[in-house]
Chain A
Amino acid sequence: MTTINEYKILDTYSPQNKIRLSEIVLDLYSSNSKLMILGGYSKIDYGNPVNANTNVIETSNLSNVIDYNPSDLTITVEAGMKMADLTKILKQNNQFLGYKLPQLKNSTVGGAISYGYSGNYRFNDIHIRDSIIGIEAVNQEGKFIKSGGQVVKNVSGYDMHKLFIGTNGSFGPLYSVSFKVYPTPSKEILLAFEYTDLDEAIRIAQKYVFFNWNIPRLSLYKSSKENHYKLVFNIVGTNQIVDKIDKMIHKDSINKSNSESVDESYINNFGYDLGTDEIYIRFTSHKNDFFKSLAELMELRNIQYKLMINPIFGFSSIIIYDDEKSVDNIKKLRQISDDNNVKLFIERGSLKLKNKFNYKNNDNNLSNLTKLFKNTYDKKHLFSPGKLYDS
């Protein structure tokens, strides 16, 4: 790779160890050189576009386990470790993170944190932001700073690690991360039911929304068949409880289960592996009244869309395609959302679409605070240029 969003990659550095990482950051920062931190290059198209030529620090060589005692239910690893490898290490001890990340294969720990996405499978509503208990990062002077620790309960000083979650590397590179982990439930099954009546599907879904410990994912999506919706449950727990919930759901649903027809990676990656002409939009509602208005609009304007409803998290999302009418379509979607007292977020889109549809934060206080943070922790605005906001 020689460019990012049409901007040149100037030089690429691959530190072999912690000290070298800090030296590189210090050298680049003191010579006023912009720098991106990249792990598996899996999220390069996420977030705001890079807006300058930049150096790249690759973290793939920083991929060791620093500390792991399974009995503590915590693990500390270097930030360049692949999430897939972390998952594998935990699995050897019958443990897991509690969530299934989208695009797991190439994602690194650092990248997953920098983008702060947890996907729609969350055991006990565990999000990546809940599972990070400590970090070590490199600041703009090349010095290491530490936040949190390797314990599951900690209120010692500010939670500075929260600054690194979802901010796209805008405050410098992470060196290490400590996670809280969970025992893997002894059994897991996938159930899926097909409906033509969205009302009925949502009614049944609502009944199971609060089974946090045993139903980490409950998703409803528009299937490829016209006016068909698929309701998918991941059920986990002891053998007895999984069987019990399985029976309860079958009793509630007269529709035939056909879990073999579910493509789990489609659900895992919905909204995360977008095509270059796709836009991902999230609504803060999972109510059918809202969807009826939405569906009417889609039909009226002949908009092709994919729909995923996540009742557990109280939101739903659609993917639409960019065309000559898309700006106008999104205006209409905003209108319907406002009418229903629902918030609309354009969360992801390919970078060429990003500026076209960028959702601006209207709250001046939040914008000002964001700028103050950037000006404080990245005085020269060299980390991840353009990613936090277009400066």
Chain B
Amino acid sequence: MIINQSFTQKLIDIVGQEFVIVDKQDMIVYESDGTHDRGMPDYVALPSSVDEVSKLVMLANESNIPIIARGSGTGLSGGSVPVKGGLIISLNRMNKILDIDPEKGIAKVEAGVINLEISKKASEFGFFYAPDPSSQQACSIGGNVAENSGGPHCLAYGVTTNHILAIEVVLPTGDIVWFGDFNKENNGIDFRGLFIGSEGTFGICTKVVVKLIKKPEMVKTFLIAFNNILDAANATTAVISSGIIPASIEMMDKTASQAAEESTKAGIPKNSDTVLLIEIEGFEDEVTEQELLIKDIINEFDPIEIKLAATEKQRELFWKARKGVLGALGRLAPNYYLVDGTVPRTKLAPVLSEVNRLSKKYGLIVANVLHAGDGNLHPCIIFDQQIPGNTEKALSLGGEILKICVDNGGVLSGEHGIGYEKKEYMPLLFSDHDLEYMKNMKNIFDSKELFNPGKIFPSLRE
């Protein structure tokens, strides 16, 4: 697209000169997210208020210019990549925590607020915000709403949609509307629920009212090493089947856990094949009771070692190993492709065996990192894109893994979204009727198809 000087001036009139970017060099940071997908925007604007967002949307709409909302750019599906150019509306300046109401246990925040900042502020009142994506130090709550993000602690608490009571949205017409209220019993259509996870294709979320959770009295974290991945998978199922709902059950296979250990020195045994990180929380009596139960269950699966974090520092180290594992895998090869399928948790063991088989077939290392309690796999395909054909091989392997997930009753994405990366796989999961039903929903909100074009729907359906 050729830069339109008059359009640029109108952007400047709305947000001010210093908050409009049209220089290609300056826009490079906006061409990608956490994936390998790329797309250069034509314009970037950084509004500071919902009124400015509304004016930007109306302007772009009148000019038929694609509109892509962007938070911190930490997404893992190409969701905020402007694959068809257009105007990026970056919400980073809308980063205020507007109100915390400790009596109701809610917080009202702007969409650009960083996920972890909500918990930090809420902790002053004894609360936290439960969904905790691994990127929570950087990702924005608006991005979490767009992707319906999860995180390790969603096993007990649920994902983003379970914690969002209401959202302020700028519709493609520029109208500003609130979806949802404080009571979950909706009168009429649950627009809040439909919007969350719609990946920026229905409009732009500008404010969010989140539910806060009271901090538990006690937290205990186990790091458990196993001889093989199947024992770890079966132990996960056994813990869940026992009636305990841990706050999280995370799994790392040998490749992932050894990389994490080298990076963090968290104390993962060198001879372990697979590691589980199990966290339980609640009242002291309850946690103590569950601790004994979990140990009994785990011992039936011949663990190499069960470590219980003795101090808060050690607990943080365990989590550092888990949450930093993707960075640690960078030691093995410069590029990775993170798959995000989910399967019924009882299918974890057979699906992981298949992933292992495919890894050998393609000759690429796959490090498995899982939200095991949720059945959410993150096979991380490690490769060097400088080697000709490697990127294509990695993508093809990822596609085969997703097919296996679907064949086992699972889905394409547990928490990253479809975005650009997985859109061609949608027919694996959905029929033509399903996709048409979804497309109609898109058209209700955005009949001109200007909002985040080129996402979710396979190319033939665009």
- Which of A's residues lie within 8 Å of B, judged by CB? 69-74, 94, 116-118, 124-125, 127, 129-130, 139, 141, 143-147, 149-160, 162-163, 165-167, 182-184, 186, 206, 209-214, 237-238, 240-241, 244, 282, 284, 313-315, 343, 345, 347, 359, 361, 363, 365-366, 369-370, 372-373, 376-377, 388-389
Contact = CB atoms under 8 A, between A and B. Distances in A.
Contact of A149 (B189, B241, B409): B409
B430 A71 contact: no
B444 A315 contact: no
Given A155-B414, A158-B197, A244-B283, A373 B189 contact: yes
Nearest to B104: A314
B148 A155 contact: yes
Nearest to B433: A143
Nearest to A132: B193
A369 B105 contact: no
A376 B433 contact: no
A157 B438 contact: yes
B396 interface: no
Given A130-B158, A153-B375, A212-B213, A366 B191 contact: yes
A229 B283 CA distance: 29
B411 to A, nearest CB: 4
A150 B409 contact: yes
B6 interface: no
Contact of A146 (B375, B410, B434): B434
Contacts of B213: 210, 212
A156 B411 contact: yes
Interface stretch (B91-99, B322-330, B339-347): B339-347
Interface in B92-127: 103-105, 127
A158 B438 contact: yes
B183 to A, nearest CB: 6
Contacts of A151: 342-344, 374-375, 409-411, 414
Contacts of B342: 151-154
Contact of A139 (B156, B422, B433, B456): B433
B161 interface: yes
10 contacts: A72-B346, A129-B186, A147-B437, A150-B344, A160-B438, A183-B245, A206-B103, A214-B282, A237-B283, A369-B445
Interface in B229-258: 237, 240-245
Nearest to A388: B188
Contacts of B161: 130, 159
Contacts of A315: 182-183
A155 B410 contact: no
B283 A156 contact: no
Nearest to A211: B214
A345 B181 CA distance: 12
Contact of A152 (B178, B374, B409, B418): B374
A313 B182 CA distance: 8
Contacts of A143: 433
A282 B183 contact: yes
Given A153-B375, A158-B438, A118 B184 contact: yes
B371 A166 contact: no
A97 to B, nearest CB: 14
Given A155-B416, A186-B243, A284 B344 contact: no
Nearest to A180: B158
Contacts of A127: 184-185
Interface of B: 103-105, 127, 147-148, 150, 154, 156-159, 161-162, 171, 175, 177-179, 181-191, 193-194, 196-198, 211, 213-214, 237, 240-245, 282-283, 285-286, 289-290, 342-346, 371, 374-376, 409-418, 422, 426, 429-431, 433-434, 437-438, 440-445, 456
Contacts of A184: 243
Contacts of B183: 282, 284, 313-315
A244 B207 CA distance: 39
Contact of B177 (A149, A244, A363): A363
Contacts of A159: 148, 161, 193-194, 196-197
Interface centre among B188, B410, B441 (most CB of A within 10 A): B188
Given A118-B184, A145-B433, A155 B415 contact: yes
Given A147-B434, A156-B412, 10 more contacts: A118-B185, A144-B433, A146-B430, A155-B148, A159-B197, A166-B187, A183-B242, A237-B283, A238-B286, A376-B441
A129 B184 contact: yes
Interface centre among B237, B371, B443, B444 (most CB of A within 10 A): B444
A209 B181 CA distance: 19
Given A127-B185, A315-B183, A210 B105 contact: yes
Contacts of B443: 376
B243 A69 contact: no
B341 to A, nearest CB: 9
B237 A71 contact: yes
A116 B150 contact: no
A197 B45 CA distance: 56
B187 A345 contact: yes
B182 A284 contact: yes
Given A151-B343, A155-B147, A157-B426, A214 B413 contact: no
A241 B283 contact: yes
Contacts of A141: 433
